[in-house]
């Protein structure tokens, strides 16, 4: 057993205790179960193979399971729905950990139409919340990530994003209920005052703010999450933009960033490279049957066939029609000034077909991309954050693309342009049945971490296999941040049982080995 504490006897003790807590049918420790909770997209699932899983259905279950885990010294890896696509799925950093599956805690506890928020349990999926809102006529709109098969809570806690005004999902979190590793139950923010109805409306309550400390950390198990949702706009307008050449990314970011900063555009608008769009349409063999890197001439044929640019963006506006029509004029003028080709604005008004509204409607379309190379598709996300500075972003693109070419992988990147930060999301697609390509993909990933660090930037999120490597790049003052994280970890989780190694944060007992 690779986990330092969880030998077979300890695991057996824990699973026995777990059966007494949640029932026989909620403990999954057979070979098939272990496979089901492994990272399905990984080339080497064994590296992060869990020992099994236990499904909790209540706060009391979670508390009892944490106590049992501490007694047996068995690490638990909490997941909401475990669909953390390209970042590890439901699998733990540390092989041997037991997955704490919260997907059965899936109640939408509140939808507050007046104040614009919802409260969800961890297992609520984007589809569940969408259905709950649809049943009452969409009094609030959600923001969804491109591939929205996961949970609202897990995605927000990992700082997922969507192309909507409320698309910075972690920023919409307001008020959490959390079970700490010692099994105590806390409510953050205004919720610390028992019965306070301001729990999910203010982020600036009394004392330190803890909501963000439970994002991308291993300090607690979130059992309730307040999330701000957008009031439905009277109308939406959307505009498709294209850039014909790879190097045009600089112009594209230079157009979006100031509009975003000034609030003319009120969502992070991405520029997506054409391979991404092609990968949603079909596997590469649909366009070209050759081997190796997709040649630029073949790429040009794909763009022609799909009617897309090298880079493609969609800008959406939300609000009263008079307001957004005025914004649309400013955006059209900015596109014209930058020489950027734009289609006609598409307008949607309340009462029109909801499907055309630009509301966050869950979809799994993006999943198709993993079939790009055929075989059993795999996918890794590399997502550094940089300033919304067109020149810097263009340098990042050129550096990254060169590495993709060096390692023989078709470049697929998207630059999500915010007013101040731009997230360079790189989707690295591969065929898991091709061990040579998988090896090259991992070498590419290492090179990207190194290059980006050298350029002075870091990732905002990473795959479980790279959490230490990325944490290592956050190196100010000889890794002072790591020591701060470790101090908190040791105080909150003295037995080191909750998600050891997540985000490169290891409890003392594990660091000592």
Is residue 150 a contact residue for ligand ADP (CB under 6 A)? yes
Is residue 102 a contact residue for ligand ADP (CB under 6 A)? yes
Structure-token pair, residue 20: 């007494």
Is residue 169 a contact residue for ligand ADP (CB under 6 A)? no
CA 430, CA 42: separation in Å to the nearest integer?
Answer: 10
Closest approach, Cβ 263 to ligand ADP, in A, equals 29
Q: Catalytic residue at 87?
A: yes
The only residue of 80, 236, 316, 437 in contact with ligand ADP, by rule CB under 6 A: 80
Closest approach, Cβ 124 to ligand ADP, in A, equals 9
Q: Catalytic residue at 460?
A: yes
CA 512, CA 501: separation in Å to the nearest integer?
Answer: 13
CB closer to ligand ADP out of 152 and 239:
152
| Subset of 492-511 contacting ligand ADP (CB under 6 A) | 499, 502
DSSP 465: G
Is residue 226 a contact residue for ligand ADP (CB under 6 A)? no
Closest approach, Cβ 405 to ligand ADP, in A, equals 31
Is residue 84 a contact residue for ligand ADP (CB under 6 A)? yes
Is residue 122 a contact residue for ligand ADP (CB under 6 A)? yes
Q: Which stretch binds ligand ADP (CB under 6 A): 36-44, 80-88, 180-188, 284-292?
A: 80-88
The only residue of 52, 75, 82, 413 in contact with ligand ADP, by rule CB under 6 A: 82
Identified catalytic residue from 73, 81, 87, 482 = 87
175 three-state secondary structure:
strand
What residues form DSSP beta bridges with 158? none
Is residue 222 a contact residue for ligand ADP (CB under 6 A)? yes
Is residue 83 a contact residue for ligand ADP (CB under 6 A)? yes
Q: Are 497 and 509 in contact (CB under 8 A)?
A: no
Nearest to 332 by CA among 308, 356, 315: 315
Beta strands in 287-412 (DSSP E): 311-319, 341-342, 346-349, 377-382, 384-387
Identified catalytic residue from 303, 432, 440, 461 = 461
Q: Catalytic residue at 262?
A: no
Is residue 147 a contact residue for ligand ADP (CB under 6 A)? no
Q: Where are the alpha helices (DSSP H) in 23-169?
A: 31-36, 59-72, 126-135, 152-157
∠ at Cα 228 (225, 233), nearest 5°? 150
Q: Are 362 and 252 in contact (CB under 8 A)?
A: no
Structure-token pair, residue 119: 């409260």
61 three-state secondary structure:
helix
The residue count of the chain comes to 513
Catalytic residue positions? 87, 460-461
Question: Footprint of ligand ADP on this chain (CB under 6 A)?
Answer: 78-84, 90, 102, 122, 150-151, 153-155, 157-158, 221-222, 499, 502
């Amino acid at each position: 057993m690779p986990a330092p504490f969880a030998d077979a006897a300890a695991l057996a003790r824990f699973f026995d205790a777990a059966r007494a807590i949640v029932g026989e049918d909620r403990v999954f420790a057979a070979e098939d179960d272990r496979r089901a909770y492994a990272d399905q997209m990984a080339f080497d699932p064994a590296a992060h193979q869990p020992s099994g899983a236990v499904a909790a259905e209540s706060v009391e279950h979670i508390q009892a399971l944490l106590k049992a885990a501490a007694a047996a010294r068995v690490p638990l890896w909490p997941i909401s729905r475990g669909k953390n696509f390209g970042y590890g799925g439901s699998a733990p950093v540390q092989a041997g950990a037991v997955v704490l599956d919260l997907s059965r805690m899936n109640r939408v506890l509140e939808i507050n139409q007046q104040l614009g928020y919802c409260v969800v349990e961890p297992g609520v999926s984007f589809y569940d919340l969408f259905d709950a809102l649809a049943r009452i006529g969409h009094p609030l709109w959600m923001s969804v990530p491109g591939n929205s098969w996961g949970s609202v809570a897990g995605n927000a806690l990992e700082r997922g994003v969507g192309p909507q005004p409320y698309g910075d999902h972690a920023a919409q979190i307001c008020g959490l209920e959390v079970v700490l590793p010692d099994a105590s139950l806390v409510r953050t923010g205004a919720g610390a005052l028992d019965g306070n109805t301001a729990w999910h409306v203010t982020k600036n309550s009394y004392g330190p703010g803890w909501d963000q400390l439970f994002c991308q950390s291993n300090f607690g198990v979130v059992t309730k999450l307040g999330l701000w949702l957008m009031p439905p706009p009277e109308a939406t307008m959307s505009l498709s933009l294209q850039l014909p050449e790879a190097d045009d990314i600089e112009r594209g970011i230079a157009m979006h960033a100031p509009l975003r900063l000034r609030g003319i555009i009120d969502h992070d608008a991405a520029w997506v490279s054409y391979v991404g769009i092609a990968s949603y349409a079909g596997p590469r063999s649909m366009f070209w049957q050759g081997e190796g890197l997709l040649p630029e001439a073949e790429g040009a044929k794909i763009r022609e066939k799909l009617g897309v640019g090298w880079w493609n963006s969609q800008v959406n506006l939300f609000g009263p029609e008079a307001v957004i029509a005025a914004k649309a004029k400013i955006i059209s003028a900015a596109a014209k000034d930058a020489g950027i080709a734009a289609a006609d604005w598409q307008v949607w008004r309340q009462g029109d077909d909801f499907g055309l509204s630009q509301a966050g409607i869950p979809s799994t379309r993006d999943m198709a991309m993993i079939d790009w190379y055929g075989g059993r598709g795999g996918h890794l996300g590399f997502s550094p954050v940089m300033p919304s500075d067109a020149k810097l972003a263009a340098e990042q693109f050129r550096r990254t693309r060169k590495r993709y070419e060096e390692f023989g992988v078709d470049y697929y990147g998207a630059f999500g342009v915010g007013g101040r930060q731009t997230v360079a999301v790189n989707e690295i697609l591969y065929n898991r049945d091709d061990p040579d390509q998988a090896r090259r993909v991992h070498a590419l990933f290492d090179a990207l971490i190194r290059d980006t660090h050298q350029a002075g930037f870091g990732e905002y999120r990473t795959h479980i296999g790279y959490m230490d490597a990325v944490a290592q790049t956050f190196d100010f003052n000889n890794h002072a941040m790591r020591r701060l994280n470790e101090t908190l970890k040791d105080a909150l989780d003295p037995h080191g049982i909750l998600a050891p190694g997540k985000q490169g944060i290891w409890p003392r007992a594990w660091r000592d080995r």
